[in-house]
Amino acid sequence: MRFPSVAHSLSAKLLALTILFVLLAEVLIYTPSIARFRMTYLEERLAAAHIAALSVEAAPDFMVTKALQAKLLSYAGAHVIDLIQPDARVYMLSRPMPPEVDETFDLRGGGNWSLIVDAFCALVERRDRVIRVIDRSPKDKAQQVEITMDERPMIDAMLAFSRSILEVSVAISLIAAGLLFVTLNALLVRPMRRLTDSMVAFRRDPDGAPAVEPERRRDEIGVAGQELAAMQGAVRTALRQRERLAALGTAVAKINHDLRGILSTASLLSERLGESSDPEARRVTPRLMASLDRAVELCGQTLSFTRDGALPLRVAPVDLRALTEEAGAQALATVRPDGARVEAVWSNAVPEGLTIRGDAGQLSRALVNLGRNAVQAGAERVRVAAERRGDRLILTVADNGPGLPPRARDHLFQPFAGSARAGGVGLGLAIAREVARAHGGDLRLLASTGEGSVFAIELPFAPPPGGARLAPAATQKSFVSH
């Protein structure tokens, strides 16, 4: 596995995102700041214009010389100044030939949004405009000041302010990004890199890779390290068990092949014992034959379970009622552990013509295992029914046997551990469940009491064209008559 380059690493992305977000925050701060800067600039011009206009009041006959008027206008940065007193008196300073006004801004009723819009419009303005600004005097709110001024000096000041904001923003973003990068790299990136290295090494060599050493942290990284260490330990154990089971399966397969031959020979000899004139030999022969049949069955089931792995399915339309009938015949063609013949009734309640898509051999295998378990446990009646629940088909296999003991319920579908009868190995239910899951369904125990047990095989219901229509589950019932 190739690790990402520096440009595509988590550290580089973290650094770039930090710089981006800090700059974005600075842009959000800059927007009202530039509007406020423009407003402050104009207020300063208005205050200077107010002071300049008051010189008219101090002049003889309210007249100032042209030279003084030019100096006052230059100091205020204006072409024309009008100071309107509360008593309607107007003090005015003006250049000899004032320029034509391009735009008028009345600051008395402007809101924040209008100030922001005016500020950004000024920044993108390319013409050298002459503007008139009207507002209450910053020196005395009772007086009104109107000035006519060039806009370009204000725009130059705003651009200089913007450059300083940009320089400060870049410096702050770099410093913040650097500090945040160092901190997060130590707290997150490096621990995650150690976990990643451990996972890659473990994938390449589960047995030889060193175990990850979780850090003593209580956050998510610490929990991830602890869980990874636990998972690696569990996977190593499972791999060792799988290797042992694989070796055991190979050995069992070889032993089964030879053992079935031996048992076949023993069965032939046992049949001859049944023809013996010795009453005792004839009495024990059925039990001996039953024991040999169970041994042959055990060998076959064990060999099949260790060999199958993932069940290969040959999917085709299956007549479910006919399949159930054939499975019943096979399930009843067995003997009890004491050698007695099975005397049980197989009740097929599956509707005529019901067709589903599946593997007929595997589905029959599951039904045979369920039925054989029931009759060998002592059931006298087994009933198979079908019902539909939406897009699922439920096959119920109910019996009137003695029910499952607690030990069998605790390990119901575990091979070699979930047997419900003495001498059993618990492979029947495990195989039946594998068949159901291979078809996209499942096998569940619905009920088990002293009056019997009910198993349900759940399968996808997709009948081919012309298949029987099955009534919804609300109109169907599965039961066993005792």
Long-range contacts of 165-172 (CB under 8 A, 24+ apart): 165/26, 165/30, 165/33, 165/34, 168/26, 169/22, 169/23, 169/26, 169/30, 170/23, 172/22, 172/26
Position 445, amino acid: L
| DSSP 8-state symbol, 463 | P
Cα angle 470, 474, 475; round to 5: 60
pLDDT average, residue stretch 261-276: 66
pLDDT recorded at residue 66: 82
pLDDT recorded at residue 72: 87
Q: Render pLDDT for 286-338 as a digit per residue (tens, 0 to 9).
A: 666 666 665 666 666 565 655 545 567 888 899 999 999 998 888 887 766 55
Q: Identify the three-state secondary structure at position 457.
A: strand
What Cα–Cα distance (Å) separates residue 137 from each residue in 110, 134, 143? 15, 9, 6
pLDDT recorded at residue 383: 95
Which tops the pLDDT comparison, 253 or 222?
222
Cα angle 394, 387, 457; round to 5: 15
Assigned token pair, 29? 């701060």
**Entry pTM:** 0.45
Query: Taking all residues of the chain, what is their mean pLDDT, rounded to a whole number?
Result: 79
Name 381's bridge partners: 345
Is 453:396 a contact under the CB 8 Å cutoff?
A: no
Q: Render pLDDT for 62-121 as a digit per residue (tens, 0 to 9).
A: 677 788 888 888 888 899 988 888 877 777 888 888 899 999 999 887 778 888 999 999
Assigned token pair, 433? 């469940």
pLDDT average, residue stretch 346-370: 90
Exposure of 328 by Cβ count < 10 A (0-12 exposed, 13-18 middle, 19+ buried)?
buried
Question: Residue 14: which region, alpha, beta or left (left: phi > 0; alpha: psi -120 to 50)?
Answer: alpha
Looking at the predicted structure, is the pLDDT value of residue 167 above 70? yes
Q: Render pLDDT for 104-154 as a digit per residue (tens, 0 to 9).
A: 999 887 778 888 999 999 999 888 999 999 999 888 888 899 999 999 999
Q: Render pLDDT for 434-468 as a digit per residue (tens, 0 to 9).
A: 889 988 899 999 988 888 999 999 998 865 444 44
Q: Render pLDDT for 213-228 as a digit per residue (tens, 0 to 9).
A: 777 777 777 788 888 8
pLDDT average, residue stretch 344-370: 90
Looking at the predicted structure, is the pLDDT value of residue 419 above 60? no
pLDDT average, residue stretch 244-263: 70
Share of the chain above pLDDT 70, in %: 75
pLDDT recorded at residue 42: 92
Q: Where are the strands (E) in 44-111, listed by range?
A: 80-84, 90-94, 103-106
The Cα–Cα gap between 57 and 93 comes to 11
Looking at the predicted structure, is the pLDDT value of residue 246 above 60? yes
Model confidence at 396, in pLDDT bands (50, 70, 90)?
Answer: very high
The Cα–Cα gap between 378 and 335 comes to 11
pLDDT average, residue stretch 201-209: 79
Looking at the predicted structure, is the pLDDT value of residue 477 above 50? no
Model confidence at 469, in pLDDT bands (50, 70, 90)?
Answer: very low
pLDDT recorded at residue 109: 76
Share of the chain above pLDDT 90, in %: 21
